[in-house]
Amino acid sequence: MAVAKTYHLVTLGCPKNEVDSEHFERLLVGHLQPAADPESADAIIVNTCGFIEASQRESLEVIRTLAAKKRPGQRLIVAGCLTQIAGDRVRAEAPGVDHVFGVGQWVQVARLLEVDAEAVYDIPDTPARLRGPSAYLKVADGCDAPCTFCVIPRIKGRFRSLPLGALVREAQRLVEAGAREIVLVAQDTTAWGEDFGFAPGKGLPGLLRALSEAVGEDVWLRIMYAYPSRVTPELVQAMAELPNVVKYLDVPLQHGSPAVLRRMRRPHNLEKTFAMVRMLREAMPDIALRTSLIVGFPGETDEEFAELEQFVRAIEFDHVGVFTYSRQPHTPAHDLPDQVPERVKVMRRERLMRIQRRIAARRARTFIGRELDLLVEGSGEDEDGRPVVAGRTYREAPEVDGLVIAYGRAEAGERVRVRIEAAGDYDLFGRLAEESAS
Ligand code: SF4
């Protein structure tokens, strides 16, 4: 087969996959050119997602479509989470696939394309490519937690932190490439450093301080995917003290019933969870809290679901992602009795979302009349030709939370002041501060 000169990369799944894809693409810089569409590429590479059945189906569908349209001489390479756990299924269901790799095999993929690549995490000295003004920084990979519903530890293996020096250099490169916000991700960001000997939850505060200094005060740092029992006083103090760490925390809690949490093998002492939330809000009164919850876990009774509702009402999160339980092969929960019927899961999800929508809107309304920093993601005009920008304040993480839409003129990547004038269920509306003054 001829040496590939161009490639097209399709990335499916979560931000952590996007980071892997970005690192992989940086291995190819100077060797292969990116092609805008799969048709014109010599090699098509798919970074798959295997998190839940729906994402596995989506990945397979994409692979099958690409395989069906493949030209003679074109290579189709699939890698990532789905192929890690179900490589044989991919081969059987998409016979046009030429090469199958698992997770953490991007160097091998690069070598297959005749790129002399070193380890992906020896981050190469090439400019980072950004999507918008934000960039993800993956601080670790893998997971040692025992959550009974989750297949990630099987896919990704044991928890491994990236070294502090490499992360600082990568963050600086992202800033040089134009990033105005760096979003820290991992399966569990708060476990960073435990494999280097830090006590649980004690490594991340030091990493935050190092990154905060390295990127400068104009660049936001945001923490996603915190594990509740690792939100330590040291972490809260670092978040409160460091001006460029946004006062926002994503802590997936998964449920609010101790019995369900026990079956999930998640932290189930709700008093500790409430104490964590109190500690965060006392140190940072305006902190925006995001969580993810699973409804319809095996055996979830009406009473346990009512406890979850009560939990959501009591904490008043700013943002909540609600997922219906998805039965994963190779996980302990797969074989638990009393699986909840799909329609009950969907009804519970709708119900919880309705409750949360009211809470989120109420919390958002408290910002009306206030001025906030806005990181502009894009600009345009409304139907009357008036200039409008869309962006995010510290309260909204990229891709998962809402936006702030404001009248005024600014370029993508600029940080401007916005005065909030109205709040919807998910988005805020306002005008740029200079506009309101004029
Ligand atoms: S902490 Fe997250 S990634 Fe790790 S097992 Fe639990 S749900 Fe899965």
Mutation test of ligand 1: which of 143, 158, 159, 330 has the most ligand atoms closer than 8 Å to its C-beta?
143
ipTM: 0.96
DSSP 298: T
Q: How far is the CA of 207 from the centre of ligand 1 (A)?
A: 21
Question: Which has more confidence, 141 or 287?
Answer: 287
Q: Residue of the nearest CA to atom 1 in ligand 1?
A: 145
pLDDT band at 131 (very low <50, low <70, confident <90, very high): low
User: 187 CB less than 6 Å from ligand 1?
Assistant: yes
- The percent of residues above 90 in pLDDT, for the chain, comes to 71
Q: Is 78 exposed, middle or buried (0-12, 13-18, 19+ CB in 10 A)?
A: buried
Cβ atoms of 228 and 189 within 8 Å: the answer is: no
CA 261 – CA 255 distance, rounded (Å): 6
Contacts of 83 (CB under 8 A, 6+ apart): 48, 50, 90, 100, 101, 102
E-only strand ranges, 191-242:
220-223
Nearest CA to ligand 1 atom 2: 187
Ligand 1 mean position, distance from CA 262 (Å): 14
Residue 264 Cα to ligand 1 middle (Å): 10
Tens digit of pLDDT for each residue in 376-397?
999 999 889 999 999 999 999 9
Nearest atom within ligand 1 for CA of residue 150 = 8
Whether 422 and 430 have beta carbons less than 8 Å apart is answered as yes
Q: Is 35 exposed, middle or buried (0-12, 13-18, 19+ CB in 10 A)?
A: middle
For residue 420, the number of C-alpha atoms closer than 13 Å in the C-beta half-sphere is 23
CA-proximal residue: ligand 1, atom 3 (nearest): 187
Say which CATH architecture domain 6-112 belongs to.
3-Layer(aba) Sandwich (3.40)
Please name which of 315, 291, 293, 289 lies closest in space to residue 304, comparing C-alpha atoms: 293
Higher pLDDT, 438 or 71: 71
Probe residue for ligand 1, chosen from 17, 187, 268 as the CB with the greatest number of ligand atoms within 8 Å: 187
By the 8 A CB rule, do 297 and 328 touch? no
Rg value, the chain, Cα = 22
In terms of Cβ atoms closer than 10 Å to its own Cβ (0-12, 13-18, 19+), residue 438 is: exposed
Q: What is the mean pLDDT of residues 313-332?
A: 94
Ligand 1, residue 188: give the atom nearest the CA.
Answer: 1
CATH code that applies to domain 371-437: 2.40.50.140
| In the chain, where the domains are located | 6-112, 134-365, 371-437
How much is the pLDDT for 249? 98
CA 186 to centroid of ligand 1, rounded, Å: 10
Average pLDDT over the chain, rounded to an integer: 91
Residue 138 is inside which H or E element, if any? strand 134-138
pLDDT in tens, 75-117: 999 998 888 888 888 888 888 899 999 887 888 888 888 876 5
At which residue do the structure tokens 């902190």 appear?
Answer: 287
pLDDT at 108 (0 to 100): 85
Q: How far is the CA of 45 from the centre of ligand 1 (A)?
A: 27
Mean pLDDT on 345-352: 97
pLDDT at 87: 86
- pLDDT over 70 percentage in the chain: 95
N residues, the chain: 438
Q: Which two tokens stand for residue 205?
A: 């505060």
**pLDDT for 320:** 96
> What pLDDT is recorded for position 17?
84
- What is the per-residue pLDDT across 222-251, written as a single tens digit (0 to 9) for each? 999 999 999 999 999 999 999 999 999 999
Judge contact between 122 and 171, C-beta under 8 A. no
186 lines ligand 1 (CB under 6 A): no
Per CATH, the architecture of 134-365 is what?
Alpha-Beta Horseshoe (3.80)
323 Cα to the center of ligand 1, angstroms: 14
**How far, in Å, CA of 154 to CA of 329, rounded?**
11
Q: Is the CB of 423 under 6 A from ligand 1?
A: no
Cα–Cα distance between 267 and 261 in angstroms, integer?
7
- Would you say the CB of residue 150 lies under 6 angstroms from ligand 1? yes
One-letter amino acid of 428: L
- At 39-69, the pLDDT tens digits run 999 999 999 988 778 888 899 999 999 999 9
Rounded to whole angstroms, what are the CA distances from 175 to 42, 133, 172, 222, 314? 32, 10, 5, 14, 39
| Confidence grade of residue 122 (pLDDT, cut at 50, 70, 90) | very low
* Rounded Cα gap, residues 282 and 260, in angstroms: 28
C-alpha 329, offset from chain centre:
23
Ligand 1 atom nearest the C-alpha of 146 is: 5
